[in-house]
A and B are shown apart, each in its own frame.
Chain A
Amino acid sequence: MIEAVLQISLVVLAAAMIGLVYRLVKGPTVPDRVVALDAMGVNLVSITAVLSMLLDTSNYLEVILLIGILAFIGTVAFAKFLEKGEVVEYDRDQ
Protein backbone atom coordinates (compact mmCIF):
# COMPACT_ATOMS: atom_id res chain seq x y z
CA MET A 1 0.00 0.00 0.00
CA ILE A 2 2.56 2.53 1.15
CA GLU A 3 4.77 1.49 -1.71
CA ALA A 4 2.09 2.28 -4.24
CA VAL A 5 1.50 5.67 -2.70
CA LEU A 6 5.22 6.42 -2.85
CA GLN A 7 5.34 5.37 -6.48
CA ILE A 8 2.42 7.60 -7.35
CA SER A 9 3.91 10.54 -5.51
CA LEU A 10 7.19 10.04 -7.36
CA VAL A 11 5.41 10.15 -10.68
CA VAL A 12 3.57 13.29 -9.62
CA LEU A 13 6.84 14.88 -8.53
CA ALA A 14 8.44 13.91 -11.81
CA ALA A 15 5.53 15.50 -13.67
CA ALA A 16 6.05 18.64 -11.58
CA MET A 17 9.71 18.51 -12.52
CA ILE A 18 8.82 18.38 -16.21
CA GLY A 19 6.56 21.36 -15.74
CA LEU A 20 9.40 23.23 -14.04
CA VAL A 21 11.74 22.30 -16.85
CA TYR A 22 9.20 23.68 -19.30
CA ARG A 23 9.32 26.98 -17.46
CA LEU A 24 13.11 26.79 -17.34
CA VAL A 25 13.31 26.26 -21.08
CA LYS A 26 10.58 28.67 -22.06
CA GLY A 27 11.52 31.56 -19.84
CA PRO A 28 10.63 34.14 -20.97
CA THR A 29 12.73 36.21 -18.53
CA VAL A 30 15.78 35.18 -16.57
CA PRO A 31 14.03 35.53 -13.17
CA ASP A 32 11.40 33.07 -14.43
CA ARG A 33 14.16 30.56 -15.05
CA VAL A 34 15.86 31.23 -11.72
CA VAL A 35 12.62 30.66 -9.88
CA ALA A 36 12.10 27.49 -11.88
CA LEU A 37 15.58 26.33 -10.85
CA ASP A 38 14.88 27.12 -7.22
CA ALA A 39 11.63 25.21 -7.36
CA MET A 40 13.45 22.35 -9.00
CA GLY A 41 15.78 22.28 -6.01
CA VAL A 42 12.83 22.01 -3.62
CA ASN A 43 11.34 19.37 -5.89
CA LEU A 44 14.63 17.49 -5.70
CA VAL A 45 14.39 17.51 -1.92
CA SER A 46 10.98 15.88 -2.12
CA ILE A 47 12.05 13.34 -4.72
CA THR A 48 15.10 12.40 -2.67
CA ALA A 49 13.01 12.01 0.45
CA VAL A 50 10.45 9.79 -1.32
CA LEU A 51 13.22 7.79 -2.91
CA SER A 52 14.99 7.18 0.37
CA MET A 53 11.70 5.89 1.78
CA LEU A 54 11.30 3.66 -1.24
CA LEU A 55 14.87 2.41 -0.96
CA ASP A 56 14.46 2.07 2.77
CA THR A 57 17.66 3.88 3.70
CA SER A 58 18.69 6.86 5.78
CA ASN A 59 21.79 7.60 3.77
CA TYR A 60 20.18 10.39 1.76
CA LEU A 61 19.28 12.67 4.64
CA GLU A 62 22.48 14.69 4.16
CA VAL A 63 21.64 15.05 0.51
CA ILE A 64 18.26 16.50 1.43
CA LEU A 65 19.79 19.06 3.78
CA LEU A 66 22.47 19.93 1.28
CA ILE A 67 20.03 20.50 -1.53
CA GLY A 68 18.08 22.77 0.75
CA ILE A 69 21.16 24.88 1.54
CA LEU A 70 22.47 24.92 -2.00
CA ALA A 71 19.17 25.82 -3.56
CA PHE A 72 19.00 28.75 -1.18
CA ILE A 73 22.58 29.84 -1.82
CA GLY A 74 22.20 29.40 -5.55
CA THR A 75 19.03 31.39 -5.71
CA VAL A 76 20.51 34.18 -3.62
CA ALA A 77 23.60 34.23 -5.84
CA PHE A 78 21.50 34.41 -9.00
CA ALA A 79 19.34 37.10 -7.47
CA LYS A 80 22.37 39.15 -6.51
CA PHE A 81 23.81 38.67 -9.93
CA LEU A 82 20.65 39.87 -11.58
CA GLU A 83 20.44 42.80 -9.21
CA LYS A 84 24.05 44.03 -9.18
CA GLY A 85 25.75 42.21 -12.04
CA GLU A 86 28.20 40.41 -9.81
CA VAL A 87 28.07 37.80 -7.10
CA VAL A 88 30.99 38.63 -4.82
CA GLU A 89 31.63 42.33 -4.32
CA TYR A 90 35.00 43.85 -3.56
CA ASP A 91 35.57 45.16 -0.06
CA ARG A 92 34.75 48.86 -0.02
CA ASP A 93 37.63 49.75 2.32
CA GLN A 94 40.28 48.66 -0.10
Chain B
Amino acid sequence: MDLIADSIIIALVVVGIIFTIITVVGIIRLPDVYMRAHAASKSATLGVMSLLLGVFFHFWWNEGHFSISLVLGIAFLFITSPIGGHLMSRAAYMSGVKPTELTVGDDLKIAIDKQRAELAKNTHEE
Protein backbone atom coordinates (compact mmCIF):
# COMPACT_ATOMS: atom_id res chain seq x y z
CA MET B 1 0.00 0.00 0.00
CA ASP B 2 2.80 2.35 0.90
CA LEU B 3 4.64 1.36 -2.23
CA ILE B 4 1.61 2.14 -4.42
CA ALA B 5 1.17 5.54 -2.76
CA ASP B 6 4.84 6.40 -3.24
CA SER B 7 4.71 5.28 -6.88
CA ILE B 8 1.73 7.52 -7.62
CA ILE B 9 3.36 10.50 -5.88
CA ILE B 10 6.67 10.00 -7.69
CA ALA B 11 4.90 9.64 -11.06
CA LEU B 12 2.97 12.89 -10.54
CA VAL B 13 6.08 14.80 -9.43
CA VAL B 14 8.11 13.47 -12.36
CA VAL B 15 5.39 14.52 -14.83
CA GLY B 16 5.39 17.99 -13.26
CA ILE B 17 9.18 18.31 -13.54
CA ILE B 18 9.13 17.12 -17.18
CA PHE B 19 6.51 19.70 -18.13
CA THR B 20 8.46 22.40 -16.29
CA ILE B 21 11.56 21.62 -18.32
CA ILE B 22 9.46 21.57 -21.53
CA THR B 23 8.24 25.06 -20.60
CA VAL B 24 11.78 26.36 -20.26
CA VAL B 25 12.93 24.84 -23.55
CA GLY B 26 9.89 26.30 -25.32
CA ILE B 27 10.35 29.77 -23.88
CA ILE B 28 14.04 29.86 -24.77
CA ARG B 29 13.85 28.33 -28.24
CA LEU B 30 10.57 29.43 -29.84
CA PRO B 31 10.94 32.46 -32.15
CA ASP B 32 7.87 34.52 -31.28
CA VAL B 33 6.04 36.18 -28.40
CA TYR B 34 2.82 34.34 -29.15
CA MET B 35 4.49 30.93 -29.42
CA ARG B 36 6.27 31.63 -26.15
CA ALA B 37 2.98 32.55 -24.50
CA HIS B 38 1.53 29.32 -25.88
CA ALA B 39 4.37 27.28 -24.38
CA ALA B 40 4.32 29.14 -21.07
CA SER B 41 0.62 29.18 -20.30
CA LYS B 42 -0.25 25.57 -21.21
CA SER B 43 2.65 23.43 -20.17
CA ALA B 44 3.59 25.46 -17.09
CA THR B 45 0.00 25.17 -15.86
CA LEU B 46 -0.14 21.42 -16.41
CA GLY B 47 3.29 20.90 -14.83
CA VAL B 48 2.61 22.87 -11.68
CA MET B 49 -0.85 21.33 -11.30
CA SER B 50 0.55 17.81 -11.53
CA LEU B 51 3.35 18.59 -9.09
CA LEU B 52 0.96 20.17 -6.60
CA LEU B 53 -1.33 17.13 -6.91
CA GLY B 54 1.65 14.93 -6.02
CA VAL B 55 2.46 17.10 -3.00
CA PHE B 56 -1.21 17.01 -1.97
CA PHE B 57 -1.26 13.20 -2.10
CA HIS B 58 2.03 13.11 -0.16
CA PHE B 59 0.58 15.16 2.68
CA TRP B 60 -2.69 13.22 2.59
CA TRP B 61 -1.38 9.65 2.49
CA ASN B 62 1.97 9.86 4.25
CA GLU B 63 1.30 12.54 6.84
CA GLY B 64 -2.48 12.24 7.30
CA HIS B 65 -2.97 15.95 6.65
CA PHE B 66 -5.79 16.77 4.20
CA SER B 67 -4.77 20.27 3.14
CA ILE B 68 -7.76 22.04 1.66
CA SER B 69 -5.77 25.16 0.76
CA LEU B 70 -3.66 23.08 -1.63
CA VAL B 71 -6.84 21.99 -3.45
CA LEU B 72 -7.86 25.64 -3.58
CA GLY B 73 -4.43 26.53 -4.96
CA ILE B 74 -4.71 23.91 -7.72
CA ALA B 75 -8.20 25.12 -8.69
CA PHE B 76 -7.08 28.76 -8.63
CA LEU B 77 -4.08 28.03 -10.85
CA PHE B 78 -6.28 26.08 -13.27
CA ILE B 79 -8.64 29.05 -13.57
CA THR B 80 -6.24 31.99 -13.62
CA SER B 81 -3.18 30.82 -15.53
CA PRO B 82 -4.84 30.61 -19.01
CA ILE B 83 -6.49 33.97 -18.33
CA GLY B 84 -3.06 35.42 -17.63
CA GLY B 85 -1.70 33.96 -20.85
CA HIS B 86 -4.60 35.38 -22.83
CA LEU B 87 -4.14 38.86 -21.31
CA MET B 88 -0.41 38.86 -21.99
CA SER B 89 -0.83 37.78 -25.62
CA ARG B 90 -3.53 40.41 -26.17
CA ALA B 91 -1.34 43.09 -24.61
CA ALA B 92 1.51 42.00 -26.88
CA TYR B 93 -0.72 42.21 -29.98
CA MET B 94 -2.26 45.55 -29.03
CA SER B 95 1.12 47.10 -28.26
CA GLY B 96 2.22 46.23 -31.78
CA VAL B 97 4.65 43.33 -31.39
CA LYS B 98 5.10 41.75 -34.82
CA PRO B 99 4.75 37.96 -35.19
CA THR B 100 7.56 36.05 -36.84
CA GLU B 101 8.06 35.95 -40.61
CA LEU B 102 6.82 32.36 -40.79
CA THR B 103 3.27 33.56 -40.11
CA VAL B 104 0.95 33.11 -43.10
CA GLY B 105 -2.26 34.79 -41.91
CA ASP B 106 -3.37 37.47 -39.47
CA ASP B 107 -7.15 37.22 -39.02
CA LEU B 108 -7.22 39.43 -35.94
CA LYS B 109 -5.81 42.38 -37.91
CA ILE B 110 -8.63 42.07 -40.47
CA ALA B 111 -11.25 41.97 -37.71
CA ILE B 112 -9.76 44.94 -35.87
CA ASP B 113 -9.50 47.00 -39.07
CA LYS B 114 -13.16 46.28 -39.88
CA GLN B 115 -14.19 47.28 -36.37
CA ARG B 116 -12.20 50.50 -36.58
CA ALA B 117 -13.70 51.33 -39.97
CA GLU B 118 -17.25 50.88 -38.66
CA LEU B 119 -16.43 53.00 -35.62
CA ALA B 120 -15.02 55.78 -37.78
CA LYS B 121 -18.08 55.65 -40.08
CA ASN B 122 -20.49 55.90 -37.14
CA THR B 123 -18.71 58.87 -35.60
CA HIS B 124 -18.56 60.53 -39.02
CA GLU B 125 -22.34 60.17 -39.51
CA GLU B 126 -23.08 61.74 -36.17
Q: Do they bind each other?
A: no
Which A residues have a C-beta under 8 Å from some C-beta of B?
none
Which B residues have a C-beta under 8 Å from some C-beta of A?
none
